[in-house]
Amino acid sequence: MHSVTANGASIPALGFGTFRMPGVDVLRMVPHALKLGFRHIDTAQIYGNETEVGEGIASSGVARGDVFLTTKVWVDNYRPEAFVASVDESLKKLKTDYVDLLLLHWPNDAVSLADQINALNEVKADGKTRHIGLSNFNTALMSEAVALSRAPLVTNQVEYHPYLSQKPVIDAAKRTGMSITGYYGMADGAVFADPVLKDIAARNGKTVAQIVLRWMVQQDGVIALSKTVGEARAAENLAVFDFVLSDHDMSAIYALARPDGRIVSPNGLAPVWDRVA
C-alpha cells in the first residue's frame, strides 16, 4: 500500500472505516483488518464505537505507532469549553495518548470557525493529535479554515464515489497541499449493479468493490475509506495495489458522475455544496 503525503502527513491510501459499525463488529473486524495489513483506522465521536476501536487496536498485536488513527470531533463539542474535554474523552476511549489525525466532523456556524480552528490547533500543540483536518467542508469553508489555522490542515474527508464528482474540492485541496479522504465509495451499494463497473471488473479480473477502491486510490492525493463486517471482503478490499486501471477505464468511471449523485447531505449539518461545472 502506498501513502499519500499532505502538508507533512503521510497517510495510508486505504483506510478501514467504522461508520455505523456496532461495537461487537468493531471488536472483531479492527484486529482482523490490522492483521490483514490495514494500517489506517477511521472512527468518530458520534459513531459511538471509539472504545471498541481502541480495544481492537490494543488486541491486534500491531504496535500503536504503526497504526494511523483518525477520529472526529462532533459538532456539539465545538464550543471552546467542550472541545478539549471531548478530545480527552476520545483519547481515553481509544486507549492512546494521541491520535494521528483529528477532524472537525461537519461545519457548524453556531460556533465561529475561528474558535473551531483555534481549538484544533490547541490540541495539536498539546500533542493530543499529530495532524488536523476537516470533514464535509465545501471549498469556501476550506479556504477560510486554511487561512485561520496556524498548523497545516492535511485532509478534507468527504463523500466520494463514481456518481459524485468532487473536482472542485479535490482541486482546492491540491492548491493548499491537502489530501481528500473519500467515504461512501460504494454509493450505498449502487455500484454493485452498475453495468460499466461490472464490465471493467470482469475485464480486470477484479470485483466491483476493488475497481471502485482502485479508482479512488489511483487518483493523486486521494485516500479511500473502506468498510465491511466480513472478513473475506476486508481481504478483497485491501487487494487493490497489485493492478492499475487504464486511462480509458478511469475516464469511464469519472463519466458516471451525475448532478444528483450526492447521497449524504443531512439537514442542519450540510453546507452549501460546490457545483460542478
* CA pair distance 252, 275, nearest whole angstrom: 21
177 lies in a domain?
yes
**Can you say how many angstroms the Cα of residue 148 is from the centroid of all Cα atoms in its chain?**
22
259 lies in a domain?
no
pLDDT band at 277 (very low <50, low <70, confident <90, very high): low
* CA pair distance 263, 273, nearest whole angstrom: 12
pLDDT band at 176 (very low <50, low <70, confident <90, very high): very high
Q: Can you read off the three cell numbers belonging to residue 71?
A: 477520529
270 lies in a domain?
no
* CA pair distance 4, 12, nearest whole angstrom: 6
Q: Which residues are catalytic?
A: 47
Does 105 belong to an annotated binding site? Answer: yes
254 lies in a domain?
no
> What integer pLDDT is reported at residue 113 of this predicted model?
98
242 lies in a domain?
no
Q: pLDDT tens, 233-268?
A: 999 999 999 999 999 999 999 999 999 999 999 999
| Residue 120 domain boundaries | 3-188+219-229
Q: What average pLDDT score do residues 20-35 get?
A: 97
> What integer pLDDT is reported at residue 49 of this predicted model?
98
Q: Measuring CA to CA, which residue among 242, 236, 241, 231 is closest to residue 33?
A: 231
Q: What average pLDDT score do residues 149-161 get?
A: 98
Q: What average pLDDT score do residues 78-107 get?
A: 97
Beta carbons of 75 and 45 less than 8 angstroms apart = no
207 lies in a domain?
no
Number of domains in the chain: 1
> What integer pLDDT is reported at residue 137 of this predicted model?
98
> What integer pLDDT is reported at residue 111 of this predicted model?
97
Query: Which residues 6+ apart lie within 8 Å of 203 measured at CB?
Result: 249
* CA pair distance 125, 131, nearest whole angstrom: 10
Q: Please check the confidence at residue 139 and state whether its pLDDT lies above 70.
A: yes
161 lies in a domain?
yes
Q: Can you read off the three cell numbers belonging to residue 93?
A: 476511549
What separation in angstroms does the CA of 103 have from each of 214, 231, 268, 276?
Answer: 25, 28, 19, 25
Query: What's the pTM value of the predicted model, to 2 decimals?
Result: 0.96
> What integer pLDDT is reported at residue 234 of this predicted model?
97
Look up the CATH number of the domain holding residue 91. Answer: 3.20.20.100
274 lies in a domain?
no
Average pLDDT, the chain: 97
> What integer pLDDT is reported at residue 276 of this predicted model?
81
Place of cell 498548523: 151
What percent of the chain clears pLDDT 90, i.e. is strictly above it? Answer: 98
Q: Can you read off the three cell numbers belonging to residue 196?
A: 460499466
What percent of the chain clears pLDDT 70, i.e. is strictly above it? Answer: 100
What number of other Cβ atoms are within 10 A of residue 141's Cβ?
18
Q: Measuring CA to CA, which residue among 123, 129, 126, 125 is closest to residue 99?
A: 129
